């Protein structure tokens, strides 16, 4: 069984979002989301990063309120809605940035790695 597949379509972001919304309205049993222009994720209905985070937290005995997650695009929004501490990276889409509680630098500048290292050391690397 496939849990996730991807579709690439040569479109700008508004056209990609429109395609995603049309597919979500038209096809039952699977969900679509948009990580970036011209790119769609396809997965079983109800199975997305938010559901995966809830499953993982339940499995390891951590509350979702304690969870710190990092993201940069539309496919991270379901995870951001579930996690207590959603963090957008510096080059995140406007939607992901607006949905985040915390903001850090770019992945390319090792901002995620530095934040994870600080968390592992018992430090809180985010400022309001």
How much is the average pLDDT of 96-114?
95
CA pair distance 35, 68, nearest whole angstrom: 19
Q: Does the pLDDT of residue 2 top 70, yes or no?
A: no
Q: Does the pLDDT of residue 79 top 90, yes or no?
A: yes
Give, in order, the Cα–Cα distances in Å from 49 to each of 3, 35, 118, 126.
12, 12, 24, 22
How much is the average pLDDT of 16-38?
94
List the chain domain ranges.
Answer: 5-44, 49-120
pTM of this structure? 0.85
Q: Which fold has domain 49-120?
A: Rossmann fold (3.40.50)
For 112-128, write each residue's pLDDT tens digit.
999 999 999 999 999 86
């Amino acid at each position: 069984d496939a849990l996730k597949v991807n579709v690439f379509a040569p479109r700008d972001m508004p056209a990609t979002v429109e395609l995603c919304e049309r597919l979500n309205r038209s096809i039952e049993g699977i969900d679509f989301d948009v990580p970036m222009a011209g790119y769609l994720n396809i997965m079983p209905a109800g199975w997305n990063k938010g559901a995966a985070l809830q499953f993982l937290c339940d499995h390891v005995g951590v509350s979702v309120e304690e969870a710190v997650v990092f993201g940069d695009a539309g496919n991270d929004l379901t995870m951001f809605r579930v996690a207590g501490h959603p963090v957008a990276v510096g080059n995140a889409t406007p939607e992901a940035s607006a949905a985040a509680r915390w903001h850090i630098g770019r992945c390319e500048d090792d901002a995620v790695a530095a934040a994870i290292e600080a968390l592992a050391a018992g430090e809180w690397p985010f400022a309001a």
